[in-house]
Amino acid sequence: MSVVEFREVIKRFGKVEALRGASFTIPEKTVTAFLGPNGAGKTTSMKLIMGFLKPSKGEVLVWGEEPWRNEGVRNRIGYLPEKPVYPADIVVEDFLSYLARLRRVGRLDVERVIRLVGLEGVADRRVGTLSRGYLQRVGIAQSLLGDPELLILDEPTANLDPAARREILDLLKVLHKDLKVSMIISSHIIPELQEVANYAVFIDKGLVLDYGYLSDLWKRYEIEAVFNIEAVDAGAVARILVEKHYVRSVKRVGERVLEVSIDPGYYKAFEGALTELSHLVKSYSFKTTSLGDLYEKVVRSRL
């Protein structure tokens, strides 16, 4: 069964049509990127999934149920709002304990989420004294209370500096790996979503332009991923990489630098191969942000 299904969903706020007949499905065990410009309808879609809003027309189904009719659905979802507001004077741990009581979640769960998101060092600090990065961890911690089956994170890296952004992204990767929880993450920063997502829903002006597994979308829109690799022995690395079935080409662009093009669905396999070659590879980086290319192509194909 799919986790989320939108059937021709229309959502109006007075005269504004935030969603204009949006349809998509999200399968189990995915990390889904909600991608779209400001005002596309990402936050509205998330609130519909939470059951905070009711569709004006069409159907929103979460685990086959309509969330606005069925509060039980909401209890299985963790939510990080777009603009969370935290009380400044309360100590981090007390704040989480308070939320745990409200949601009838055991005290032990507070310790668990504090550990999970790395808040141990600041658990006794007042919320108002935390940096933005740590505040965002508090937000993610509260979303994890009660061990939800689905996490909805509305722009979890917005307003963070590059280092904090990096930390939150790494945290999300670890959470997905350790908790195996499905996630929906919105952002308009495409390259960073590429690292965590394996599924995408492209939203623009209240319409869903396309959606699906990234591995399918890469193929459908014929996108390739190009990496730059700095190697100790470029020749040796090149000889090994050309043998991989997902490697399309290996070019030597400097004495120690290779440009490698791979089928984009094989990002993880490629990373694994580079890890095995860590004695030969000094560093590697994305040359193209292929999710960006994909986004361009999806949008262009609908014009």
The residues that touch ligand ATP, with contacts defined as CB under 6 A, are 13, 16, 18, 36, 38-44, 82, 188
| Complex with ligand ATP: residue 42 or 176, whichever CB lies closer | 42
- Beta-bridge partners for 4: 26, 62
Work out how close the CB of 62 gets to Mg ion at its nearest, in angstroms, rounded to a whole number.
19
What are the backbone angles phi and psi of residue 17, rounded to the nearest 5°?
-100, 100
Work out how close the CB of 247 gets to ligand ATP at its nearest, in angstroms, rounded to a whole number.
36
Q: At what angle do helices 162-179 and 107-116 cross, to 10 degrees?
A: 130
Contact positions vs Mg ion (CB under 5 A): 42-43, 82
Q: Determine the distance from the C-alpha atom of residue 103 to the mean position of all C-alpha atoms in its chain, rounded to a whole number.
A: 25
| Complex with ligand ATP: residue 56 or 249, whichever CB lies closer | 56
Work out how close the CB of 190 gets to ligand ATP at its nearest, in angstroms, rounded to a whole number.
13
Distances in Å between the Cα of 248 and the Cα atoms of 204, 225, 244, 245, 289 are: 32, 10, 9, 8, 17
Q: Assess contact for 55 and 240: CB atoms under 8 A.
A: no
| Complex with ligand ATP: residue 67 or 146, whichever CB lies closer | 67
Whole-number Å distance between alpha carbons of 91 and 95: 6
Selection from Mg ion, ligand ATP, none that 38 binds (CB < 5 to 8 A by kind) is: ligand ATP
| Complex with ligand ATP: residue 125 or 205, whichever CB lies closer | 205
Selection from ligand ATP, Mg ion, none that 176 binds (CB < 5 to 8 A by kind) is: none
Kindly compute the dihedral angle of the four CA atoms of residues 183, 184, 190, 193, in this order, to the nearest 10 degrees: 0
Contacts with 98 (C-beta within 8 Å, 6 or more apart), sequence order: 90
Selection from Mg ion, ligand ATP, none that 235 binds (CB < 5 to 8 A by kind) is: none
| Complex with ligand ATP: residue 48 or 105, whichever CB lies closer | 48
Work out how close the CB of 47 gets to ligand ATP at its nearest, in angstroms, rounded to a whole number.
8
Selection from Mg ion, ligand ATP, none that 200 binds (CB < 5 to 8 A by kind) is: none
Selection from ligand ATP, Mg ion, none that 115 binds (CB < 5 to 8 A by kind) is: none
SS3 assignment, position 74: helix
Work out how close the CB of 37 gets to ligand ATP at its nearest, in angstroms, rounded to a whole number.
7
Work out how close the CB of 228 gets to ligand ATP at its nearest, in angstroms, rounded to a whole number.
31
**Pairing state between β 199-204 and 31-35:** parallel
| Complex with ligand ATP: residue 32 or 97, whichever CB lies closer | 32
Nearest Cα residue to 227 out of 246, 210, 212? 246
Nearest Cα residue to 46 out of 34, 63, 58, 30? 34
